[in-house]
Amino acid sequence: GQNIDQPTEMTATEGAIVQINCTYQTSGFNGLFWYQQHAGEAPTFLSYNVLDGLEEKGRFSSFLSRSKGYSYLLLKELQMKDSASYLCAVSPPRSGNTGKLIFGQGTTLQVKP
Amino acid sequence: NAGVTQTPKFQVLKTGQSMTLQCAQDMNHEYMSWYRQDPGMGLRLIHYSVGAGITDQGEVPNGYNVSRSTTEDFPLRLLSAAPSQTSVYFCASSPRRDSDQPQHFGDGTRLSIL
């Protein structure tokens, strides 16, 4: 099965850099997703990693190490609007692209002035 | 494009009542899923479908039924509502490709069972 762990809450300062970690114990997975969810809204897609390494998208980057069972989301030049929950999710093995995702509990990030 | 549309946005039920949460998408996506979101527990998969006429169970299927008679619609039925089903319900869809695709989520249905 899959067990995905994320810190519950984090606080950072506007303009700073923050790293949100996601560790997992799983028998394998196809790929790892990061979603952003503002309070009271739907999750929106941020990034996807299938190979080990860093994927960069503007101020957001995501890293994956399958051998270490570890991923992180890096947010640079933090803005107040980045205050949200960040969800780590994996697509289980042998599910292919079926829309089946297993989520961690999410990390609530608060950005302070 | 409307994307993924969920109705109703809010609902209050009494224990034992039944209801159907509607989900429709206009992107011709093959894959659709239902999740529930509870504080401290993240999103948990209830049921999913890889195409019309095909459904399967997720992590927490008990107390819920689904059907997929068309590509566009994927309703979720609560046959006899229980307080433990108080939650926010999200429907999501994604296209069928050779590799994983991001899911598109609806705005959610906030359901309270008294």
Residue by residue, what is the 3-state secondary structure of A30-76?
CEEEEEEECCCCCCEEEEEECCCEEEEECCEEEEEECCCCEEEEEEC
| Average pLDDT over every residue of B41-53 | 92
Rg of chain A's alpha carbons, rounded to an integer? 14
How much is the pLDDT for B42?
87
Whether pLDDT at A99 is above 90: no
Measured distance CA(B74)–CA(A44) in Å, rounded: 20
- In the structure, what pLDDT confidence band is assigned to residue B41 with cuts at 50, 70 and 90? confident
How much is the pLDDT for B102?
87
Helix (H, G, I), strand (E, B), or coil: what is residue B85? helix
How much is the pLDDT for A91?
85
Tens digits of residue pLDDT in B48-98? 999 999 999 999 999 999 999 999 999 999 999 999 999 999 999 998 877
Measure A51 CA to nearest chain B CA, in Å: 12
Q: Which residues of B fall within a CB distance of 8 Å from A42?
A: 90, 105-108
Q: What is the mean pLDDT of chain B?
A: 94
Measure A14 CA to nearest chain B CA, in Å: 25
Among B32, B40, B102, the residue with its CB nearest the CB of A33 is: B102
How much is the pLDDT for A27?
67
Measure A2 CA to nearest chain B CA, in Å: 11
Among B31, B105, B108, the residue with its CB nearest the CB of A98 is: B31
Among B92, B101, B106, the residue with its CB nearest the CB of A97 is: B101
Tens digits of residue pLDDT in A18-52? 999 999 887 678 889 999 999 999 999 999 999 99
